């Protein structure tokens, strides 16, 4: 039974990661960051357009595993038109999420309930890399 649950989660991660609508360079970005996961070598570049404390556009480039790709795909879609403060609250919640068997990120972020779980704790750094890179970009100006 446990095998089926893992298999189901993997299918969900593949499905989420296959949405690449926000993959690519954002030439007119106002903020960006490039971070690397020291454990596995995943690389993430986040490009943002920030206006009046809100993420107006979000694009990414990555050389990474499927977990990292799923996380950034979801984040790139969910973070658009959200205030920076909401992103920061979500980031704190995401870091703690791997301690629980079941999560409740709330309505705005509920899709993350499926990937940021205790079952995926071995991929925690992969799943959090896009969030860390986004926070880093928010705190910086254009590369």
In this predicted structure, what is the pLDDT of residue 120? 84
pTM: 0.88
In this predicted structure, what is the pLDDT of residue 1? 43
Query: What's the rounded mean pLDDT across residues 11-26?
Result: 92
Instruction: Confirm if 55 and 18 have CB atoms less than 8 A apart.
Output: no
The H-or-E segment that residue 35 falls in is strand 31-36
In this predicted structure, what is the pLDDT of residue 101? 65
pLDDT at 143 over 80: no
The pLDDT tens digits for 26-67 are 999 999 999 999 888 999 999 999 999 999 999 999 999 999
Q: How far apart are CA 78 and CA 84, in angstroms?
A: 12
Q: Which residues contact 4 (CB under 8 A, 6 or more apart)?
A: none
- Spatial CA neighbour of 57 closest among 27, 35, 89, 36: 27
The pLDDT tens digits for 87-115 are 999 999 898 887 766 667 888 898 898 88
Instruction: Please report, to the nearest 10 degrees, the dihedral formed by the alpha carbons of residues 134, 137, 142, 143 taken in order.
Output: -90
Q: What is the CA radius of gyration of the chain?
A: 14
DSSP string covering 106-137, please? -GGGGGGGGTSSGGGGGGHHHHHHHHHHHHHH
Q: Is 6 helix (H, G, I), strand (E, B) or coil?
A: helix
The pLDDT tens digits for 108-135 are 898 898 888 888 888 999 999 999 999 9
- What angle, 0 to 180 degrees and rounded to 10, lies between the N-to-C axes of helices 124-138 and 66-78? 40
């Amino acid at each position: 039974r446990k095998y089926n649950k893992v298999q189901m989660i993997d299918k969900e991660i593949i499905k989420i990661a296959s949405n690449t609508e926000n993959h690519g360079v954002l030439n007119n970005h106002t903020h960006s960051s490039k971070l690397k996961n020291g454990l596995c070598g995943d690389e993430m570049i986040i490009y943002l357009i920030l206006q009046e404390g809100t993420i107006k556009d979000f694009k990414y480039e990555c050389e990474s595993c499927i977990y990292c790709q799923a996380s950034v795909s979801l984040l790139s879609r969910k973070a658009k038109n959200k205030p920076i403060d909401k992103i920061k609250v979500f980031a704190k919640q995401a870091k703690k999420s791997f301690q629980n068997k079941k999560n409740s990120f709330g309505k705005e972020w509920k899709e993350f309930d499926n990937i940021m779980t205790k079952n995926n704790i071995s991929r925690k750094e992969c799943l959090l890399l896009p969030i860390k890179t986004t926070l880093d970009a928010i705190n910086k100006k254009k590369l």
